[in-house]
Structure formats: structure tokens, C-alpha cells
Amino acid sequence: MTKFVDQRTYTLKNGNVQKFLKLYEEEGMEVQKRILGKMVGYYFTDIGPLNQIVHMWGYSSMDDRWERRKALQASPEWQAYAVQMRPLVDNIENKILIPAPFFTVP
């Protein structure tokens, strides 16, 4: 059961959205989904602050998140992807979102 959502916003260097999405789909998505588990959403901005990727992951506890994130960072597949991805990114912001009492995370 998802108790909270980890929301990550990557602000990319100008003009890198399509390159980032292609790289992620081809080299990052499978390992991230396998290790982190529950992808709640994956988006890019079209209005408002541009060149942003917003993705959300559901976790059952902070310990669950910690262990899964630690495993992701230790993965050679993820490290190989990250080396290619990092030059595209200007800034990363992270938020923990708690569902309202009347909402169940899909």
C-alpha cells in the first residue's frame, strides 16, 4: 500500500527534453521501474516552467524508499545511465507528498 509519493522535478538545460526522454526510455526506465517499483506518474512540462521532467514514485514507508533508492544508486545499470543523463540536467528538486485522508494513490 502506498503511504506517500516521492516527487522529483528535473530542470533540464534548455532544449534537452526530447533527448532526456529518449535516453530514459531506452536506458533508465526499465531498471528504475524494476528497483523502485511503483511509478505513479512521469511527465514533462508544456506550460509554466519549461524544460522540466516530473516523476513520482509510491512507497509504503520511508524505510522502503530508503532501501529502494540505495539499491538503485548501487545498480551498475543505473550508474551507466546516470553518467549520460547528468549533463542534461541543470537542477533536481525532491518532495515527499502525503495523500489526503480521502485519496488513495493509484
Confidence of residue 29 (pLDDT cuts 50, 70, 90): very high
| Contact between residue 35 and residue 81 where contact means Cβ atoms under 8 Å apart | no
| Contact between residue 41 and residue 54 where contact means Cβ atoms under 8 Å apart | yes
Residues 88-99: b if buried by 16+ CB within 10 A, e if exposed: bbeeeeeeeeee
Rg (the chain; Cα; Å):
14
Q: How far is CA 19 from CA 4, 35, 82, 83, 98, in A?
A: 30, 23, 14, 14, 31
Q: Which residue has the cell 511527465?
A: 43
pLDDT for 1 equals: 79
- Domain coordinates of the chain in residue numbers? 4-97
Q: Which residue has the cell 503511504?
A: 3
Instruction: Collect all residues with Cβ–Cβ distance below 8 Å to 19 and sequence separation of at least 6.
Output: 88
> pLDDT tens-digit profile of 31-70?
999 999 999 999 999 999 999 999 999 999 999 999 999 9
| Gap between the Cα atoms of 64 and 24, Å rounded | 23
User: Selecting from 3.40.120.10, 3.20.20.10, 3.90.1150.10, 3.30.70.100, what CATH number does the domain 4-97 have?
Assistant: 3.30.70.100
